[in-house]
Copies of this chain bind each other. A is one copy, B any other.
């Protein structure tokens, strides 16, 4: 029992089983984060998150889990918010410099790969620890609508619909059962909100479930109002 624990001392190294323990421990932290969801629809991408504050007196305005990166792309986070801020800052800079250099909005996968590369450096070099946060990045670019995830290992994947964080197994089960190709954007929002609800504890209202969409038509990130979310909570 003592042994496996000895591997996370110095830098991010391999265990005898070929696992990067520090990365796996960071993933544990992500699994304890509030649930987040991303859903793809041909009509646009949806991001949703549980933003329940810890006390009645907490100002929900600062307890955000959904962030806009550029007009056409944003993300939702699960894990350490302070670590997330580092990546969000890098993402925004990358979006802006890309626009300046190429005069067009950054490709969503290119942006995600860039964030993944930052993650990777923190898993292979000494003197730092991996980031303790995962992102679901969603956006619309020339290639259409995109929903991708990155995690502390630096790998990224694309999904039709996916949930990360607390009780994500249950949320992902719901998504696998109910997602069908060709969902409308409105259906996608309903699915995302439902998935967050399934993974949440306690009462779930539009006060705590937040969502944003990037419609294919407008290519513009837009936060849903509480009423729009409420509608899907029935």
Chain A residues at the B interface, C-beta cutoff of 8 Å: 1-22, 25-32, 40, 53-59, 61-63, 80-83, 85-86, 109, 113, 116-117, 119-120, 122-132, 147-148, 153-162, 172, 175-176, 179
User: Which residue in B15, B57, B119 is a CB contact (below 8 Å) of A160?
Assistant: B57
Alpha-carbon separation in the docked complex, A34 to B159 (Å): 19
- Please state if A7 and B6 are interface contacts (CB–CB under 8 Å): no
Give me 4 other A-B pairs in contact (C-beta within 8 A), A18-B27, A62-B148, A82-B153 excluded.
A5-B6, A8-B15, A54-B157, A57-B172
Smallest distance from the beta carbon of A232 to chain B beta carbons, Å?
A: 19
* Partner of A113 from B13, B85, B176 at Cβ < 8 Å: B85
A57-B176, A125-B127, A175-B57 known; A109+B62 contact, CB < 8 A: yes
Q: Contact: A124 with B128, CB < 8 Å?
A: yes
A128 to B131, CA, bound (A): 17
Interchain CB contact under 8 A, A125 and B128:
yes
Given contacts A14-B28, A155-B81, A157-B59, contact A127 B126 (CB under 8 A): yes
Say how far A81's CB is from chain B's closest CB, in angstroms: 5
**Cβ–Cβ contact B14 & A19, under 8 A:** no
Given contacts A3-B2, A57-B175, contact A86 B13 (CB under 8 A): no
A14 contacts across to B, CB distance below 8 A: 8, 22, 25-26, 28-29, 129-130, 132
In the complex, how many angstroms separate the beta carbon of A224 from the nearest chain B beta carbon?
Answer: 21
> How many angstroms between the C-alpha atoms of A132 and B19 in the bound complex?
9
CA distance A17 to B21 in the complex (A): 11
Supposing A62-B109, A83-B124, A129-B11 touch, asked if A159 and B16 sit within 8 A by C-beta, the answer is no
Find chain B residues with CB under 8 A from A13 CB. 8-9, 22, 25, 129
